[in-house]
Amino acid sequence: PRPPFPGGDARRSRLRGAGGRGGGGGMVLLPSMLMFGVILASSGLLLMIEKGILAQVKPPHPLGRDLSQRGRGLGHQEEPMGDLEEEVLRDTRNRTIRAMCGQRTMPRSVWDLPAGQRRTVLRHLLVSDKYRFLYCYVPKVACSNWKRILKVLDGALESIDVKVKMDHKSDLVFLADMKPDEISYRLKNYYKFIFVRNPMERLLSAYRNKFGEIKEYQQKYGVEIIRRYRKNGGNSAGDDVTFSEFLRYLLDEDVERMNEHWMPIYNLCQPCAVRYDFIGSYERLNADANYVLEHVQSPSFVRFPERQSWYKPVTSETLHYYLCNTQRRLIKDLLIKYILDFSLFAYPLPNVTSEFCRQ
């Protein structure tokens, strides 16, 4: 899509909060706005949002280990981290998740969730009975490569290097397809992990991919977005949605009804209802992925796939460009819907101050 252009009236969109409405259960299981205020105020996030302070602090890298001694090709390899840096991030995430999920109104298991929320998380938990693990896949966080690995581990695919188009449904086992007692057993006894990504970077990646390359998304979502938010946009084919128009659409969407490619990670994987043993990150993808493969004792020839040569990742400069050419109020309003992804997984809020954007 063409680069976004600032401008237009900054209207206050209808916000439904970070949790949205759960199918059949309302918001009783998600934090109240008062609880959000307590969480934000206690950590100083409210002040940091306004001043852009948090975005100026470089976050520590997520936990990860260099497992190259097993012969897994790590491809692009980050510099080793110090123990202190690892512990700071792990402790930050653990404390935040414990504080949030320890509230009496929060779910203790998937069975505490309203039907719609439970259905969402169970449909995103992939199962490996052979290696006894559950993986909650998050679109735009390397989930295609993880699905490829699961197919190799299950014997449905000969190698991760086989050049075939990824089928996101066949030869995969979803927890949602199992009986309640089978679900409970695996949630209690299997190793559980997710991979997370900076929320704004993930949204930008989804925007560029779906509206710049996928005709199905242009026709299904793009045409509707332009019809809603652009004057005289009735003749558009949906392939020229601007980033600002996309964000306005997200503001007006009920979180629980969002497409999985831009639904918050919290709503996809429910980290309070599912106690994950490991939270990997996109920023240290290879090291964290190979740590997981080591932990589940997968065959040594199974390695995390290297990034395809054609793939154009979202860089900090690209994100900077898009955010600084978007209405500041639009971004600040959107943070409310994605604040749990920022805070629980220890990501800095985006800096959209005038000083930063002049750079």
Q: Measure the CA–CA gap between 38 and 36, rounded to whole angstroms.
A: 5
Answer yes or no: are the C-beta atoms of 262 and 278 closer than 8 Å. no
**pLDDT value of residue 235:** 81
Mean pLDDT along residues 3-18: 39
If one compares 43 and 286, the residue with the highest pLDDT of the two is: 286
**pLDDT value of residue 32:** 43
If one compares 99 and 183, the residue with the highest pLDDT of the two is: 183
Mean pLDDT along residues 109-137: 97
The 10s digit of each residue's pLDDT in 282-330 is 988 988 999 999 999 999 888 888 776 666 788 889 999 999 999 999 9
Per-residue confidence at 93, pLDDT binned at 50, 70, 90? confident
* 37 Cβ contact partners less than 8 Å away, ≥ 6 residues apart: none
Per-residue confidence at 157, pLDDT binned at 50, 70, 90? confident
**pLDDT value of residue 94:** 84
The 10s digit of each residue's pLDDT in 75-87 is 333 333 445 776 7
Mean pLDDT along residues 263-280: 96
Mean pLDDT along residues 322-340: 94
Answer yes or no: are the C-beta atoms of 176 and 127 closer than 8 Å. no
The 10s digit of each residue's pLDDT in 217-238 is 999 999 999 999 998 877 888 8
Mean confidence (pLDDT) of the chain: 79
